[in-house]
Amino acid sequence: MDAGLLSPVSAGADAVVADAAVAAALVRAEVALAQALGSLRVAPASAVAAVERAAAGLDLDPADLAAAAVRDGNPVGAVVARLRDAVADPQAAAWVHRGATSQDILDTALAIVARSAIAVVVEDLDRVVAGLAALAARHRGTPAAARTLTQHAVPTTVGARFADWLVQVADARDELAGRALPAQLGGAAGTLAALVEELGAEPVSRLPVEFARAAGLDPAELPWHTRRTAVTRLGDALTRTTDALGRIAADVATLARTEIGELAEGAGGGSTAMPQKRNPVHSVLIRSAALRAPLLAAELHLAAANAVDERPDGAWHAEWPTLRELLRLALGAAAHAALLVEGLAVDTTAVARNLAATHGLIVSERLMRALRPRLGVRELQGIVDRAAGGEDLAALLAAEPALAGLDVAALLDPAGYLGLAVRFVDQALARAAAPPSERNP
């Protein structure tokens, strides 16, 4: 149904969360359960091997599973039936879904899907960090106008702006990469009573850890059928990722405006009506994801707050499409952000032109501090006001007898009033160069 026609940000980037990927993860979760039972020497090795062979050759139609989900409330029952049929041997098939409930398998499958998606997102975020590091290093000391509340404030550097973007993306990347994704195994109501009755408490107490290991996930402290912290934390981490990328996209879109022109996407999109336009398409698509993600994260929190009893009625179901859409948006935003940063062009002529637009007033903070002892606040404010009205600031300062012998040109040079901007760039570059082992999730 959804090929991305109305959500182009994720088109071509979301195969790892498609229905086919979810179906495959459901099967993998079932196989992992059989493997975990086998590792505890509870399930016969021959039965585990039979389940593995059947799963490898299983061809599931997502449309069929969706139809079954309408009947059963979720797709797991249909997956179990088809896998058992494929195993054929009744004794081996009996180890499929042994002691589990549908929520165990679906929660685990979605965690498997999320892990695959996160790996792709993190890889693209690595590209974003590397691209921003290259830009920050190249423009480490290039003076530019810092803007606060939309207006010119004081000088900064182009590199400092890139460095700030870099740190926010690196923070999001590290949090996402370090996000725990637990397997789910609690049985009918979070006690695993059926398996304990059949196999004994000692082996069953070790089963959740073995199950998580077989599924390639993290072990859970306890079953989390209605304790949905893992889901909301994942949603929050994904949203912080789209926040970071959306902020970059918003700044690029602003600085790429015709009248500003400091930045340009490497390959802008065209307009059907205005052939002269070079639209910042990557930025537009990233922003579309960033604007949608927070509401989806809020849906996950709403569902978590309504996950009642020992297994929820509807709140759990509401999570599935919401979490997947968040993953899709993060996948698409990260892919476009990598392309955006790798092709981003800086027009240093435009940067310098805009920096000079206020004819020296961009260093008025510096002037107030440096010249107040010589001129007094009232006199100095009058000079600044006259300059704001169009008079030449340098000439006004040069005409003041109290400033005789002062190097006014040096005071008015934005490059001399950069504070720690360059040092901050270097700190960000060190962060970008840190190996994964030194990253803090």
- Paired with 147 in beta bridges are 152
Tokens of 237: 């981490």
Tokens of 171: 């923070």
Give the C-alpha separation, 293 to 301, whole Å. 13
User: Out of 271, 372, 386, 423, which one is annotated catalytic?
Assistant: 271
User: Is 127 considered catalytic here?
Assistant: no
Q: Which residues contact 296 (CB under 8 A, 6 or more apart)?
A: 235, 239, 322, 325, 326, 329
User: Out of 82, 98, 140, 311, which one is annotated catalytic?
Assistant: 311
Task: Tell me if 199 sits within 8 A of 282, measured CB to CB.
Answer: no
Q: Measured between alpha carbons, how far is residue 271 from residues 253, 255, 275, 378 in Å? A: 16, 19, 6, 52
Show the 3-state SS of the chain: CCCCCCCCCCCCCCHHHCHHHHHHHHHHHHHHHHHHHHHCCCCCHHHHHHHHHHHHCCCCCHHHHHHHHHHHCCCHHHHHHHHHHHHCCHHHHCCCCCCCCHHHHHHHHHHHHHHHHHHHHHHHHHHHHHHHHHHHHHCCCCEEEEEECCEEEEEEEHHHHHHHHHHHHHHHHHHHHCCCCECCCCHHHCCCHHHHHHHCHHHHHHHHHHHHHHHCCECCCCCCCCCCHHHHHHHHHHHHHHHHHHHHHHHHHHHCCCCCCCEECCCCECCCCCCCCCECHHHHHHHHHHHHHHHHHHHHHHHHHCCCCCCCCCHHHHHHHHHHHHHHHHHHHHHHHHHHHHHCEECHHHHHHHHCCCCCHHHHHHHHHHHHHHHCHHHHHHHHHHHHCCCCHHHHHHCCHHHCCCCHHHHHCHHHCCCCHHHHHHHHHHHHHCCHHHCCC
Tokens of 241: 């990722």
Give the C-alpha separation, 378 to 19, whole Å. 70
User: Is 271 considered catalytic here?
Assistant: yes
Please list the active-site residues: 271, 311
